[in-house]
Amino acid sequence: MARRRRRDRRRTKDQPAVVSPGLPGGWYKPLTEEGLQRIHEASLTVLEQTGIEVQPSECRDIFRDAGAKVDESNNRVYIPRGMVNEALATARNEVTLCGRDPRHDIALGGTKVNMGTGGAAVKVLDIDTQRARESTLADVAQIGRLVDALDNIHFYLRACVARDIPTEILDTNTYYAAATNTTKHVTVNAFSVESVREIIDIAALIAGSREALAERPIVSFTACWTVSPLRYASDTVEVLTEVVRQGIPVFLSSAPQSGATSPAALAGSLVQINAEELSGVVYTQLLNPGAPVVLGYVPSVSDLRTGNFVGGAPEFAMMHAASAQLGQFYNLPVYNSSGLADSKIPDIQAGYEKGITGLAAALAGSNYIHHSAGFLESMLTVAYEQYVIDDDINGAIMRAVRGIEVTDETLSVDVIDAVCGPGGAGHYLGTPQSLEMMNTEYYYPHTGNRQTRDDWEDDGSLDMWTVARQKARRLLKTHQPAPIPAAVDAEIRQRHNIVLPPELAGQA
């Protein structure tokens, strides 16, 4: 007997009517107000009493000249409470990151939520063989194209390391591959002062001028300037110093691991990472008061039975939500993480780990949630199809962040009366309200399946991993991000050692 087949209505271009970048969170609060205050006070005590290890350097001289106590016998800098308060007063409450396309500009601050990529994976789950292989510069470019095409990945922080090119040209080529393959905001890492200057030069060429870049920063940097516990990394501090002096937005990324490089007690880990972050705010504001700096809490968890890094744990989720609260306590923007699945493939474990950690950070109101898409194997591996799946997960998360709007219209008193009163249909299917709100009130998954079993079987009984792989292949084949002008591309290639083939940068 023939069956009438019903297929999912999967929305694409009109989906932003339901969810969009920058929706306000702040619903989930794992810390009480008293807990926040106590963590703040304990952090200030750590900075005054234990201090930060800073090797002889310009950085240490800047702290000393500003009034911090320096003990040269153990290379420690002790930062008084008053210095922290002064820095907090000059730090920006909001930092804007711009895309090549202004539609993708995002503002970080308050409880505004944005979710994107990140990391330094060294392996890619090959989309054809399904076996892990070394990541390449082409992967950086191709992942950028996926990010450009997927609505619920709001920015692109390079996700994997191009292991097929020399280290000395890694930073500039990574930025170029990312920036030419998405019109969304691009965040980069740099491992030398020279790389910072070269990346800013490329960004200025794309933006139109150095002044245009200052007006609309289409690039930002992460700086992992600490080596927990409570120690500055000398080389990275020089990179941070250069970025701050250039006036480009920068994320102060600190990533202690509870039970290994921070206390096993979650509150103690938060005290330590908060002390590290506050010291970074002090240093950057001494360099350039009002510099566009974002708190970069990336606390992680150890499995204390083995000592292994764990990214998908509920404790990881809670600490990142608590980090969002700390940012709101200081009224400063926050960068942190979600989606660091420990699973090796896009399976059930990856799904629940990403859902738990992403929902916690977003509902808490984290501003720049990196690592939210693509990751597997505790940050070691990314997968093309995982970006598609995570875009779907992020969409559902952002719908939860949006919450439930209560207005005269949504209370629906008149609609209820019309349906349930005399002469009413007794159901809401086909009412004007249902038709009007089906595309604004509800998020529809583009990869998750809601068909009946019979229809699903008729369509091939495909699991989500397979559907996502098919969609990733289709996007890579058909989606073409807006290229940078050919003349600009030619000048970039003339001034810098760019090895990405022109066709992977959108240049015919």
Q: How far is CA 45 from CA 20, 37, 297, 329, 500, in A?
A: 40, 12, 19, 17, 49
Q: How far apart are CA 393 and CA 452, in angstroms?
A: 21
Predicted confidence at residue 153, as pLDDT, reads 98
Longest dimension (CA), the chain: 88
Secondary structure (H, E, C), 345-376: CCCHHHHHHHHHHHHHHHHHCCCEEECCCCEE
Predicted confidence at residue 5, as pLDDT, reads 37
pTM, rounded to two decimals:
0.94
Burial call 408-424: b when 16+ CB within 10 Å, e when fewer = eeeebeebeebbeeeee
For 89-101, what is the mean pLDDT?
97
**pLDDT grade, residue 15 (50/70/90)?**
very low
Is 128 exposed, middle or buried (CB count within 10 Å of its CB: 0-12, 13-18, 19+)? exposed
Does 13 have pLDDT greater than 90? no
Q: How far is CA 232 from CA 155, 240, 383, in A?
A: 28, 11, 33
- Quick one: tokens of 233? 């990394």
**pLDDT grade, residue 10 (50/70/90)?**
very low
Does 9 have pLDDT greater than 70? no
Q: What percent of the chain has pLDDT over 90?
A: 91
H/E stretch holding 23 reads strand 23-24
Predicted confidence at residue 1, as pLDDT, reads 35
Cis preceding linkage at 229, omega within 30: yes
For 5-31, what is the mean pLDDT?
69
pLDDT digits (tens, 9 = 90+) for 204-238: 999 999 999 999 999 999 999 999 999 999 999 99
H/E stretch holding 295 reads strand 293-297
Q: How far apart are CA 128 and CA 490, in angstroms?
A: 33
Structural domains in the chain plus CATH codes: 93-266+285-402 (3.20.20.480), 404-437 (no CATH)
Which is it for strands 123-125 and 132-134: parallel, antiparallel or unpaired? antiparallel
Predicted confidence at residue 399, as pLDDT, reads 96
For 373-388, what is the mean pLDDT?
95
Predicted confidence at residue 200, as pLDDT, reads 98
Q: How far is CA 226 from CA 190, 250, 273, 476, in A?
A: 15, 14, 10, 37
H/E stretch holding 188 reads strand 185-189
For 256-268, what is the mean pLDDT?
95
Q: How far is CA 31 from CA 326, 329, 333, 388, in A?
A: 9, 11, 18, 33
For 459-471, what is the mean pLDDT?
96
- Quick one: tokens of 59? 């950085």
Predicted confidence at residue 508, as pLDDT, reads 64
For 276-296, what is the mean pLDDT?
98
pLDDT digits (tens, 9 = 90+) for 387-444: 999 999 999 999 999 999 999 999 999 999 999 999 999 999 989 999 999 989 999 9
Cα 445 to its chain centre, rounded Å, is 21
Asked whether the beta carbons of 508 and 485 are under 8 A apart, the reply is no
Q: How far apart are CA 476 and CA 383, in angstroms?
A: 13
Does 64 have pLDDT greater than 80? yes
Measured at the CA of 219, the angle between CA 397 and CA 290, to 5 degrees, comes to: 95
Does 7 have pLDDT greater than 50? no
- Average predicted confidence (pLDDT) for the chain: 94
For 74-93, what is the mean pLDDT?
97
